[in-house]
Amino acid sequence: MIVVVGSGPAGVACASALVGQGHRVTMLDYGRTADPAAAALAERLRPLANPERRRLVAGADCSRASTQGLARKTQFDSDHSYLPPPDWHLSTDPARVGLEPSFALGGFSSVWGASMLPYAENDLAGWPISQNDLAKHFRAVLRLTRLAADETGTLGSRYPLYADHACPLPAGRQAAKFYERLGCHEPGLTQHGFLYGRARLAVEGQPDAPRHCRQCGLCMFGCPDGAIYDAANTMRDLQATGQLDYRPGVLVRRVSEDGSQVRITVQTGEHGEPTTLTAGRVFLAGGPIPTTRLLMESAGLHGRDVYLQDSQYFLLPLLSWAAARGAITEETHTLSQVFLEILDPKVSAHTVHLQIYGYNPQIGAAVRKALGFAGRAVPALVRLLAERLLIFQGYLHSSESPRLRLRLDAQDRAELSAEENPATAKVISRVVAKLRRHLAALGGLPIAPMLVRGTAGRGFHSGGSFPMSAHPNDGQSDLWGRPFGWQRIHAVDSTIFPTIPATTITLNVMANAHRIGAALATYSPT
């Protein structure tokens, strides 16, 4: 029996590669799903026209907005993606740690931002694999997720599209004006180390597809049409082939090797007694915290610190010189609309990744709250600012970001804490200064006093606790994600990334998981 643990992006990518080779896969997953009220709301929204959709959820969509950003991105107001099993204890300091595990069906793909950019060769410095090793797996993964993108701009000079068919989504008015301005200043931007392009998104943009984007603007609340990629749908597709046996309600507690078998200790149900399963090979894809903790418990690493790397996340508003009239009421998607990469050694030794967002209802609510009485009394003032406001969402390389420390005590209680990196604030300051030197190209002013720096892990681009190495030592993994010298237990999520580059993580997690699954005959010839 071949077992994959977890139904998130890494799990379904690995399972897809295995099934594609004719193997039968058993997927063990806790698989928490949205509450009935959320499912009912999604069904109620689906047949409605866009204006009716927005009116129906206006209050709920904006309830968590503030000038500090969105506390949590939920699915139709359900926070099931963040709820751990009752007996799975993890203590953190929320004021310093933002990373959380997900035990949901599909993992965090039910609430993610859908941004998809491959790592370039320079992003993979220090890795034992190259961009060429991942290329065909990028293509395989993008056939699963679909891709909304085009080849305009300069992004493609370093980041190939890898998609056989990519259908771009229409840009919102703010993003269109911003993008046009970047194009007018393209030679200067290139000379000064900028690459730009339309955001690449795991969204179905083909208008004749069953789950296509209808531009309703509820991306940050929940997609009624299912146009944003959710790994749960890939799981169901694999299940329909008869080659995937999906078992929800299962929490994997430990794994160990016994000759040619892997022993898997599982707990079924919320308070079930542990039982043991056996498999010929196991692929762990539960996400950076659950996989790291499972490996630590399985190897008896109690009282020992294990470190997760992170890509520092920050938000920076930009106030445009000119308003994009009608941006508040237009029908457009509210995911990232433009990617901007900074490759300037005077700013950072690594790529800095920026995602640009236009208006969404939460931005309007945040502006209204920030203005206080004036925001409530003078709606025109809110509109005046909201139509000029773009949000830059930035990420740094893990070497310039905080790291997270996971520790287990003798009773298997886990604690996650953060360790700051003195380079982080300096790099962010240099990013802001560089943007301010290019106001003409940006068409507006970055508002540095309103910059929000996320807590460690808040961007959910984390991993690297058991990094891959061509010659692994204790605490590392081999090229196939096997830690501790094990032969039949593989980690296939970001747990095994040697570094966490700034560019988007999910496409790269999926491609590497697919690579490991597709190479089964390489390390298991019998």
Cα dist. 344→350, 434, 445 in Å?
8, 9, 20
Instruction: State pTM to two decimals.
Output: 0.95
* Containing structural domain, residue 17: 1-32+83-145+229-303+463-526
pLDDT of residue 69: 57
Query: Tell me, what DSSP letter sits at residue 24?
Result: -
In a domain, 199, yes or no: no
Residue 282: is it exposed, middle or buried by C-beta count within 10 angstroms (0-12/13-18/19+)? buried
- Which residue in 294, 267, 265 sits closest to 279, CA to CA? 265
pLDDT of residue 345: 97
In a domain, 234, yes or no: yes
- Which residue in 139, 135, 114 sits closest to 124, CA to CA? 135
Tell me the backbone φ, ψ of residue 381, rounded to 5 degrees. Answer: -70, -40
d(CA 117, CA 509): 11
Query: Tell me, what DSSP letter sits at residue 218?
Result: -
**What number is the average pLDDT over the span 81-99?**
92
**Which residue(s) pair with 426 in the sheet?**
none
Cα dist. 332→65, 115, 172, 321, 432 in Å?
19, 16, 6, 22, 28
Give the percent of the chain with pLDDT over 70: 94
pLDDT of residue 42: 92
pLDDT of residue 54: 87
90 three-state secondary structure: strand
pLDDT of residue 365: 67
15-19, 166-170, 373-377: the lowest-pLDDT one: 373-377
Look over the chain and give the mean of its residue pLDDT values, rounded to a whole number: 92
pLDDT band at 64 (very low <50, low <70, confident <90, very high): low
**What number is the average pLDDT over the span 498-505?**
97
pLDDT band at 12 (very low <50, low <70, confident <90, very high): very high
Please enumerate in sequence order all residues whose Cβ is within 8 A of that of 23, keeping only pairs 6 or more positions apart, or say none: 2, 243, 520
**What number is the average pLDDT over the span 28-55?**
92
Kindly provide the b/e burial profile for residues 107-134, where b requires at least 16 CB atoms within 10 angstroms of the residue's own CB: bbbbbbbbbbbbbbeebbeebbeebeeb
Cα dist. 210→205, 254, 284, 445, 515 in Å?
10, 40, 32, 41, 29
Q: What is the pLDDT of residues 429-469, one digit of tens each?
A: 999 999 999 999 999 999 999 999 999 999 999 999 999 99
> Does residue 335 register a pLDDT over 80?
yes
Number of domains in the chain: 1
pLDDT of residue 71: 61
Query: Tell me, what DSSP letter sits at residue 322?
Result: S
In a domain, 468, yes or no: yes
Q: What is the pLDDT of residues 214-241, one digit of tens each?
A: 999 999 899 999 999 999 999 999 999 9
pLDDT of residue 416: 97
> Does residue 181 register a pLDDT over 90?
yes
Q: Are strands 25-28 and 2-5 parallel, antiparallel or unpaired?
A: parallel
Token readout for 270 is: 């919320």
In a domain, 441, yes or no: no
> Does residue 70 register a pLDDT over 60?
no
**What number is the average pLDDT over the span 291-300?**
96
**What number is the average pLDDT over the span 140-154?**
95
Please indicate whether residue 459 or residue 70 has the higher confidence score (pLDDT): 459
d(CA 146, CA 167): 9
pLDDT of residue 207: 87
What CATH code is carried by the domain that includes residue 252?
3.50.50.60
Q: Angle 226-231-236 (CA atoms, 0-180°, nearest 5)?
A: 85
- Which residue in 512, 454, 463, 196 sits closest to 337, CA to CA? 196
pLDDT band at 61 (very low <50, low <70, confident <90, very high): low
pLDDT of residue 165: 84
Q: What is the pLDDT of residues 119-131, one digit of tens each?
A: 999 999 999 999 9
**Which residue(s) pair with 292 in the sheet?**
none
In a domain, 455, yes or no: no
Q: What is the pLDDT of residues 251-269, one digit of tens each?
A: 999 999 998 999 999 999 7
- Spell out the alpha helix ranges (H) of 346-462: 361-371, 373-377, 379-386, 422-436, 439-442
> Does residue 371 register a pLDDT over 80?
no
